[in-house]
Structure 1
Amino acid sequence: MTDELQPADRRGVATDGGSPAEVFRVFLKLGLTSFGGPIAHLGYFRDELVVRRRWIDDAGYADLVALCQFLPGPASSQVGFALGLLRGGGWRGGLAAWVGFTLPSALLLVACALGAAAVAGAGGLLHGLKLVAVAVVGQAIWGMARSLTPDRPRAAIALAAVLVVTFAGGAGGQIAAIVLGALAGLRLCRGEAPAAASQLRVPLSRRTGAACLAGFAALLVLPPALAGATGSQAIALFDAFYRSGALVFGGGHVVLPLLRAETVAPGWTSNEAFLAGYGLAQAVPGPLFTFAAYLGAVMEPAPNGIAGAAIALVGVFLPGLLLVAGALPFWDALRRRALAQAAMRGANAAVVGILGAAFYDPVWTSSVLTPLDFALALAGFLLLTVWTAPPWVVVVLLALAGALLGGA
């Protein structure tokens, strides 16, 4: 199968199936060139796969995007995985899409992590990368608040989530905020009409979908018990990243507080290394979730290095991919339910509050230490939001500023 453009049928997916090799080539190209975060990635996908290659039409693509925004997990990677499933005829196509899109940024971040010892003394450079995190998370909150809290009820849910996370703390507080946000959404966010749904030709049966959902649930329950019984650090590492990936609603930036609770709090990595790696993750193309590979590589307890990176990377992505495969066969029926949509509006508003709490602690409190830090972080924020500079430009400028000022 070549990469020639294919006509889309009325159900939204190209009538001629593709091969996993074709899917891998196309998504490897996207993984090497897609800068700018999940919203930008969805734009790249549409340009390459809807407009140029016609693998799917706009209605079918919008349906996939809606599903992946409804579910927890990395939305752009989930959309890519779903497109690979549909185009490549099943699991091999989906995995080819995921590997192609994920591999470039994961390899770059692991290389940076393995070379971290060489730059450990470059305090100014690392501080500049921490200021990048201030600018990027600030931009994420700004954009998400405008779209996910457009009215008073959802703004109130976001504020309540800030209070829950601030006073409860840890991963438990974040889970509680999302659950309470969804319950509040059932009560307060039911005024909008349910979104219309288009049909997709899904190469998975409902039985397969149910098995994937059961596997998702089992992997939330079994690894903690196994880690406690065996004392295995490898299982504990997988569990920490799997749990974080399973609870990310609203975009890749929300993984920041979840991963910090799982890695910095138990002493697996330092707060400085965590925020420096998060800043580096803004400079590479592809999904932000590959930040997990960096963390797996730099951790002190073994397994770390390449083995730790592989465990962390699979762990953080696996729940989102299982959920997409599990939900696709049932999506048409579920999406038409007004109650499900109301709950998700509330949960998404709570996500804004969770990210707002994380923006204060640890991002702001550990990065903005002087008036000059504030000025640099504000400059980065304005470059992203007003001048719409690519994130990698902000990374380079603030890292250089930090290095120069740190050495002064």
Structure 2
Amino acid sequence: MRRTRNLIFLKDVAGLACTAFGGPQAHLAMMFRLLVHKRRYLTAAELLELQALCALLPGPTSTQTMTAIGFRLGGPNLAYLTLFVWCLPAVLIMTLAGLLLTHFDAALTGRLVQFVQPVAVGFVAFSAYRIAEKVIQTKTSVALMVASAMVAYFFQLPGVLPLLLLAGGAVTTLRYRKHAIVPDKKPIRVEWANGALWLGIFLLAAVLGHYTQLRPVRLFENFYRNGSLVFGGGQVLAPLLFAEFVEYKHYLTGPEFLSGLGLVQALPGPNFSFASYIGALAMRPLGGVGPQLLGAAVGAIGIFLPGTFLIFFIIRFWDGLRQYRVVKASLEGVNAVSAGLVCAAALLLYHPLPDRLLALPGSLAHWHLPLNPLLVGLTFLVLLWERIPSVVMVGVALLAGVLVP
């Protein structure tokens, strides 16, 4: 029975990996719909807790969240399989893009995803609605949700997200006496293996990267270091990789970097898969497909591995930690801030969408309706109807991008 459930879960993860467009907040929206609302692998509050916990750590938030869910359901083995299945489609496509760079047309890519982008915003807006419905239950939560949404919207800085989560938790911690005392608390057992492994590889890679000229080793050190230190997701990672691999090391040209960045934004799955594209192009001087494939693999492993070690380290004692009233009280504020961040994400993702007008037929031809708000609203209503799977909606949006000039 458990094995069957794990296989179904991995199938669901594969479906999300092929349809979850729009970055971490859109990923959260689709996780919420499929894993919480439809499959009930975990509750809305549990998903928000895991997402907030991962947001406080460096690394790819949505990847760490998905890995943590796999760990909760089936332990380390299922977690590693979850990580592999979640990352594989985007990594393969970005590796292929690195091998066949000259065959990719940026204009064609933009046309293909022109309708996927507003659909992704609709997913995020629906996620904000569902999350608020589930976790906002007090005036304090409402205030924290609104305040965090406003701060995240007006101050788009890497450190804002973890600071907001910590501040929200601190506010509701003051009300810890309203929570019941958990009798017979289990002692917290911290297993240091994964934390020590993360730090050991970090130091070893730094030493080897300094003393060797082997490009695969240096690439691994570059990506492992960035994956260990970057907060805020792919949006923060991109300028760091540009500075290192384009401006400093000249492994890529500026247009090559921007072409890959545009492509990864158009793909489902984790944006950190961009590292496999850079790794493939960085190995071009060695000649042949083999070194480029090695570079792509090194890039993907280096960028995803540190975040995996960190979430494996934290998740093992998180359940013990959340037994305490102070921690439990803080989760109310963390969940409220998380809801606010999703609200802000819906607005922030909408703004970059280009203006498109829809001409009405017949005698109303002189009227033009804004297309993107219609698509966002239609997506929200279809999700509320709960009859059409997310993969079908994304597939229709992609097909429309092919057919509509």
> Shorter-chain-normalised TM-score: which range?
0.5 to 0.7
Once residues 206 and 170 of structure 2 are traced to their aligned partners in structure 1, the CA distance between those partners, rounded to angstroms, is 29
CA 1:258–1:206 in structure 2 vs 1: closer, same or farther (change >3 Å)?
Answer: same
Structure 1 position 354, deviation (Å): 2.5
Structure 1 partner of 2:11: 32
Once residues 184 and 242 of structure 2 are traced to their aligned partners in structure 1, the CA distance between those partners, rounded to angstroms, is 47
Count matched residues. Answer: 334
Amino acid at match of 2:381: L
Aligned to 1:84, which of 74, 84, 107? 74
CA 1:105–1:152 in structure 2 vs 1: closer, same or farther (change >3 Å)?
Answer: same
Structure 2 partner of 1:51: none
Structure 1 position 394, deviation (Å): 1.5
Amino acid at match of 1:258: G
Once residues 381 and 273 of structure 1 are traced to their aligned partners in structure 2, the CA distance between those partners, rounded to angstroms, is 30
Does structure 1 retain, via aligned residues, the 8 Å contact 2:194–2:309? no
Amino acid at match of 1:38: M
Matched position secondary structure for 1:323: helix
Structure 1 position 340, deviation (Å): 0.6
Structure 1 partner of 2:362: none
Matched position secondary structure for 1:366: coil
Once residues 338 and 125 of structure 2 are traced to their aligned partners in structure 1, the CA distance between those partners, rounded to angstroms, is 14
Aligned to 1:291, which of 259, 264, 270? 270
Does structure 1 retain, via aligned residues, the 8 Å contact 2:50–2:68? yes
Once residues 46 and 394 of structure 2 are traced to their aligned partners in structure 1, the CA distance between those partners, rounded to angstroms, is 31
Aligned to 1:112, which of 79, 85, 93? 93
Once residues 221 and 159 of structure 1 are traced to their aligned partners in structure 2, the CA distance between those partners, rounded to angstroms, is 39
Structure 1 position 139, deviation (Å): 2.1
1:177-192 matches, within 5 Å, as: 177-187=164-174, 190=176
Once residues 148 and 167 of structure 2 are traced to their aligned partners in structure 1, the CA distance between those partners, rounded to angstroms, is 8
Structure 1: state its 5+ residue gaps: 7-22, 48-57, 86-93, 248-256, 282-289
Amino acid at match of 1:357: A
Does structure 1 retain, via aligned residues, the 8 Å contact 2:197–2:309? no
Once residues 48 and 152 of structure 2 are traced to their aligned partners in structure 1, the CA distance between those partners, rounded to angstroms, is 27
Structure 1 partner of 2:237: 262
Does structure 1 retain, via aligned residues, the 8 Å contact 2:66–2:82? no
| RMSD between superposed Cα atoms in Å | 4.4
Does structure 2 retain, via aligned residues, the 8 Å contact 1:194–1:336? no
Q: Cα deviation per residue 1:314-352 (whole Å; 9 max; x = unaligned)? A: 244332222113x16xx34x3332111111221222222
Does structure 2 retain, via aligned residues, the 8 Å contact 1:128–1:400? no
Structure 2 partner of 1:252: none
CA 1:197–1:210 in structure 2 vs 1: closer, same or farther (change >3 Å)?
Answer: farther
Once residues 177 and 241 of structure 1 are traced to their aligned partners in structure 2, the CA distance between those partners, rounded to angstroms, is 22
Once residues 324 and 63 of structure 1 are traced to their aligned partners in structure 2, the CA distance between those partners, rounded to angstroms, is 16
Once residues 66 and 133 of structure 1 are traced to their aligned partners in structure 2, the CA distance between those partners, rounded to angstroms, is 19
Matched position secondary structure for 1:32: helix
- The higher radius of gyration belongs to 2
1:315-354 matches, within 5 Å, as: 315-325=306-316, 327=317, 331-332=319-320, 334-354=321-341
Structure 1 partner of 2:179: 193
Structure 1 position 119, deviation (Å): 5.3
| 1:132 maps onto 2:119 in alignment | yes
Q: Cα deviation per residue 1:118-174 (whole Å; 9 max; x = unaligned)? A: 353312112223223212222222222222333321121122223433444321122
Matched position secondary structure for 1:367: coil
CA 1:144–1:295 in structure 2 vs 1: closer, same or farther (change >3 Å)?
Answer: farther
CA 1:105–1:195 in structure 2 vs 1: closer, same or farther (change >3 Å)?
Answer: farther
Does structure 2 retain, via aligned residues, the 8 Å contact 1:31–1:102? no
| 1:41 maps onto 2:35 in alignment | yes
Structure 2 partner of 1:20: none
Matched position secondary structure for 1:169: coil
1:106-255 matches, within 5 Å, as: 106-116=87-97, 117=101, 118=104, 120-122=106-108, 123-187=110-174, 190=176, 193-194=179-180, 206=189, 209-212=191-194, 218=199, 234-243=220-229
TM-score of the aligned structures, taking structure 1 as reference length: 0.65
Once residues 392 and 133 of structure 1 are traced to their aligned partners in structure 2, the CA distance between those partners, rounded to angstroms, is 12
Amino acid at match of 2:145: A
Structure 2: state its 5+ residue gaps: 17-29, 55-60, 244-255, 284-294, 357-369
Does structure 2 retain, via aligned residues, the 8 Å contact 1:380–1:398? no
Structure 1 partner of 2:296: 305
TM-score of the aligned structures, taking structure 2 as reference length: 0.65
Q: Cα deviation per residue 1:181-223 (whole Å; 9 max; x = unaligned)? A: 1211223x547534969999x9xx935x24545667x589979
Amino acid at match of 1:156: A
Q: Cα deviation per residue 1:96-130 (whole Å; 9 max; x = unaligned)? A: 21232233342222233244553533121122232
Aligned identity (percent) is 17
